[in-house]
Structure 1
């Protein structure tokens, strides 16, 4: 990343990393191009920006973090401050993309700032994933798909099981192994 790009970074915003790149590539490979796409938890706006640049999709991003909203907007991404999918209308999006906070975190070691919100998935790593799965179906068009990044630290099988309980079938469409975890992008379909 060049010096020019770093000046626009907010210190309280999750910046693109291996998980961001994996999710962006997997989504871009599967999107047809003219979909309405929502990226939940956009952080810097990297994934939404990549999808907008590489497809003809109409991309909207959301994040709870006001610093992330500002950075993503500064990068040219249409961004809304929102908690998961709460402000969006029913059946609006053909695809929803999410790189959630997934790191299991001991409650005794949480530091309660915006970066923790971007990284901490609670004790089991699914504190944000489970509510997302509960509500994402509402904003998804009938033939829509969800691209969800999950870590082996979170328990991919448990996420697939929860998705199944919410009416989704799940298939792994991309993965990458690292020394301490494997990252997997799940495609969820109804």
Structure 2
């Protein structure tokens, strides 16, 4: 009974592919070489990980804190680990790390106490989770590795680039798409 209840909740507890997901997946496919070792942080449904694997032939692993997301990604055939960002992975393990972080600034009027809140809210400024990512991702990147991170004008692209720079990363916008309420940008970050 518990397993059935868990599966029913998975559809509403996991961020499903949307415009940001597709933009990151398309950018990743264009940047990631075959045979690369790739980590998809915050894999959610596993869409980006599966797309990168299928389109490039890369060796892709997903990671997500949400147990429902871990199950959905696994159901999609993605090897996945339940983890907070990159914590369980060894140093220099990946050639590429991709991340579609929770980037919406906290809206106290719309807050929910569930996994979707975790998937969407980037804290007070919308940058807290991506800043934690920049503080830790360098450890798991191979020496010539890079990260692909999706950011929004709602989060403050310049502020994200500045923070990344303070952590030793150079950032270049490689893909961008505008919507009535925000512009999404995929940044490629190297040390």
TM-score, normalising length: structure 1 = 0.94
Match of 2:151 in 1: 150
Match of 2:39 in 1: 38
Over residues 11-48 of structure 1, what are the superposed CA-to-partner deviations in whole Å (9 max), with x where a residue is unaligned? 20000000000000001001111100000000000000
Q: CA deviation at 1:110?
A: 2.0
Match of 1:97 in 2: 98
Q: CA deviation at 1:162?
A: 0.5
Q: Secondary structure at the match of 2:128?
A: coil
Match of 1:4 in 2: none
Q: Does 1:64 align with 2:65?
A: yes
8 Å Cα contact 2:97/2:148 also seen in 1: yes
Q: Structure 2: state its 5+ residue gaps.
A: 1-7
Deviating runs (4+, > 4 A) in structure 1? none
8 Å Cα contact 1:163/1:169 also seen in 2: yes
Task: Tell me the number of residue pairs that the alignment of Structure 1 and Structure 2 aligns.
Answer: 184
Match of 2:5 in 1: none
Match of 2:83 in 1: 82
Rounded to whole Å, the distance in 1 between the matches of 2:78 and 2:9 is 14
Rounded to whole Å, the distance in 2 between the matches of 1:60 and 1:8 is 24
TM-score, normalising length: structure 2 = 0.93
Match of 1:119 in 2: 120
Q: Secondary structure at the match of 2:112?
A: coil
Q: Alpha carbon RMSD of aligned pairs, Å? A: 1.4
Q: CA deviation at 1:104?
A: 0.7
Q: CA deviation at 1:165?
A: 0.6
Q: Structure 1: state its 5+ residue gaps.
A: 1-6
